[in-house]
Structure 1
Amino acid sequence: MMKPVLGIETSCDETAAAVVDGDGRILAEAVLSQLGEHAPFGGVVPEIAARTHLRHLSEQVRHTMAAAGIGFTDLGGVAATSGPGLIGGLIVGCQFGKGVAIASHIPFVAVNHLEAHALTARLPGLVKGGAPFPYLLFLLSGGHSQCIAVTGIGQHVRLGGTVDDAAGEAFDKVAKLLGLDWPGGPALEKIASEGDPTSHPFPRPMARRPGCDLSFSGLKTAVAQTVLRIGPELTREQRADVAASFQQAVVEVLADRARHAMDMMQGRFPRANLLVVAGGVASNAAVRAGLADAAMSRGFRLVAPPVRLCSDNAVMVAWTGVERLRRGWSDSLDVNARPRWPLDILEAVAG
């Protein structure tokens, strides 16, 4: 039986650790949010994020290992997010993971953050009947919006993606235009529930076009022009209407792009019938509902992980470590953290 794997996640502004056993059971998990450190600046400050990871990671790991009830020598490996992300935080987590591997004489796995999101659906018990390859991943976060065919561990085909802003980035920027608290996505979703989604006829960029590329900069500009036209002192009702109309536009665009992506997926992989949505934007209830309808229209099942596993977490990192170590794959200790690490190049590494 495979021993448990320690996962470490420090790619942005969450300091996270988790222990997952070879059967996919989560023995312990912990996430330390840095919202308090970054809120005064209205966004993540990379230097502050790195220093906060450095200050808290060792204690976070000790706490998680204690909660799991095991020692470092009981581990079968340690997996750390090594890219893509903010380079300072990646270095902290990657180097810490290497230190654990050296001290405990266990393998080290350098995890691609995007692949970790992609493989979350394969956690045992998350999807009824499991999540066999191939399946379609719709990754929606603050830094990434991509449609990816996941055909195996380390094997991914990019079908399309954003040509400008990511979906989460658009949510945050519009929230800032409306004077909402940071992080913008949850704040905008909350106030949108009070508004009329038909009050502002915002554009649906890229809708009905061939392929599954996305664009949000034009939509963001339309919102900015609307806010400017209304004036500097928006009432709560006006903010709610703008937020609801923007969110509805995003939902419709994502649903349209997902339908196109599913058509592309079945054209390449006729047996595929699973749509997995992951990333922070997958926590949005309206987005989930819109994608569920889109999936049903194409005969796909929609899988959206529990909210806590949509945003950055170490469970997905540990599980990716399990998946790779099962195949005998690990990384040398001279591997570098990478701020940019496209999924497309993983196949060559895995092969």
Structure 2
Amino acid sequence: MAEQNIYILGIESSCDDTAAAVIHNGKMLSNVIANQKIHESYGGVVPELASRAHQQNIVPVVDQALNRAKISKNDLNAIAFTRGPGLMGSLLVGTSFAKSLAYGLDIPLIEVNHMQAHILAHYIEEENYSKPPFPFLAMTISGGHTQIVEVDHYFEMTVIGETIDDAVGEAFDKSGKILGLGYPAGPEIDKRAKLGNPKAFKFTKPKVDGLNFSFSGLKTAILYFVQKETKINPDFIKENINDICASIQYTIIRILIDKLKLASKQTGIKHIAIGGGVSANSGIRQALKDGEQKFGWTTYVPKFEFTTDNAAMIAIVGYLKFLEGDFSAQDTTASARLKI
């Protein structure tokens, strides 16, 4: 593989981060992300503002990615981009830019499924990182998705469990909003959970058949619990914030791990990989590591920079597709609800 000397530019614009990366023969040369701080004051991503910010950011971000990789655009062999799923306005910016650049340079265009990319981020060449062997189970957990996927090969994936309502990232963010924490609340809950008692307050786990998830009932239970306690003691949140965060996080992690245990038992697969923004959570990482001892799993946890939305994961999928000659036509269009 390495003898071919292949440079892939990856472009990611599915939500509120504008990202570009260069992969050379599977190894990352650059991974640039422009975050959009503007959404924090709204407590969530505003689609119209996101797409406008992508338009401003995309040229400088791509330019920086090429500069950091120490190559020119003429060295590129293909352009990979996120076709979906995501916010339509945001996806359109990345898709249009990628199509134009590929057309102008007369090189192949490669469309990438964002959710597949979270899983295949594990195949970026990294020193001292062993890649999951096929078949393995991947749990993709983010603000918009919660899925368990059976992965038989790079592009042979089957979703065997998913959320029937809210994603796990939403459960963290909405719980944080109830507690008066900023957006996104996940990292703040994680930080406070380390200081609290995870068994201080008990929240009931939703009963969902099979390998599917549900988080809306938990979110409602947390809301009612906080309302009830603050009626009795107006300072309840302030006085118990760390314990509340620890209890919420503990419950969410138990839901995820219980479903993974069931998936592993049903499939007989003991190689477990995680991906997506919520996989940056220290409690989830620790629970997976514990699973190695308790259940005989081998677990694969990506570097922090490959957990949130980034373009290196798009570029590595582009590289794998390039090797297979799997290119896209210029008339390809963005798709907000693309399935694995």
Query: What range is the shorter-chain TM-score in?
Result: over 0.9
Measure how far apart 1:178 and its partner are. 0.1
TM-score (ref. length: structure 1): 0.92
Structure 2 residue 216 is matched with structure 1 residue 217:
yes
**Is contact 1:175-1:185 (8 Å) kept?**
yes
Partners of 1:127 and 1:327 lie apart in 2 by: 26
Identity %: 37
2:107 partner amino acid:
I
Moved over 6 A (4+): none
**Is contact 1:204-1:249 (8 Å) kept?**
yes
**Is contact 2:198-2:247 (8 Å) kept?**
yes
Partners of 2:331 and 2:273 lie apart in 1 by: 33
Look up the match of 1:286: 283
**Is contact 2:131-2:300 (8 Å) kept?**
no
- The DSSP-based 3-state class of the residue aligned with 2:201 is coil
What are the residue-to-residue correspondences of 1:66-215 with 2, within 5 Å?
66-125=67-126, 128-206=129-207, 211-215=210-214
* Segment drifting more, 298-307 vs 311-320: 298-307
Residue 314 (structure 1) aligned to one of 311, 314, 326: 311
Partners of 1:127 and 1:145 lie apart in 2 by: 28
Partners of 1:295 and 1:328 lie apart in 2 by: 37
Residue 32 (structure 1) aligned to one of 31, 34, 52: 34
**Is contact 1:140-1:277 (8 Å) kept?**
yes
**Is contact 1:134-1:152 (8 Å) kept?**
yes
**Is contact 2:132-2:300 (8 Å) kept?**
no
**Is contact 1:195-1:237 (8 Å) kept?**
no
Partners of 2:277 and 2:78 lie apart in 1 by: 27
Look up the match of 1:349: none
Partners of 1:126 and 1:172 lie apart in 2 by: 34
Measure how far apart 1:273 and its partner are. 3.3
Partners of 2:270 and 2:325 lie apart in 1 by: 29
The Cα offsets for residues 236-264 of structure 1, whole Å up to 9 and x where unpaired, read as 33222211111111111111111011112
Residue 338 (structure 2) aligned to one of 325, 336, 341: 341
Look up the match of 1:346: none
**Is contact 2:196-2:243 (8 Å) kept?**
yes
1:292 partner amino acid:
K
Partners of 2:165 and 2:131 lie apart in 1 by: 34
Measure how far apart 1:233 and its partner are. 4.1
Partners of 1:129 and 1:326 lie apart in 2 by: 21
- Specify every segment of 5 or more residues in structure 2 that has no aligned partner in the other structure, as ranges: none
What are the residue-to-residue correspondences of 1:250-269 with 2, within 5 Å?
250-266=252-268
Partners of 1:93 and 1:249 lie apart in 2 by: 37
Measure how far apart 1:230 and its partner are. 1.6
Partners of 1:204 and 1:235 lie apart in 2 by: 22
**Is contact 1:10-1:53 (8 Å) kept?**
yes
Partners of 1:252 and 1:221 lie apart in 2 by: 18
**Is contact 2:27-2:126 (8 Å) kept?**
no
* Segment drifting more, 244-253 vs 191-200: 191-200
**Is contact 2:28-2:124 (8 Å) kept?**
no
Look up the match of 1:57: 58
Change (3 A) 1:294 1:90: same
- The DSSP-based 3-state class of the residue aligned with 2:29 is strand
**Is contact 1:259-1:295 (8 Å) kept?**
no
Partners of 2:133 and 2:105 lie apart in 1 by: 33
- Specify every segment of 5 or more residues in structure 1 that has no aligned partner in the other structure, as ranges: 267-271, 344-351
Matched pairs, number:
334
- The DSSP-based 3-state class of the residue aligned with 2:195 is coil
**Is contact 1:83-1:339 (8 Å) kept?**
yes
Partners of 1:264 and 1:127 lie apart in 2 by: 31
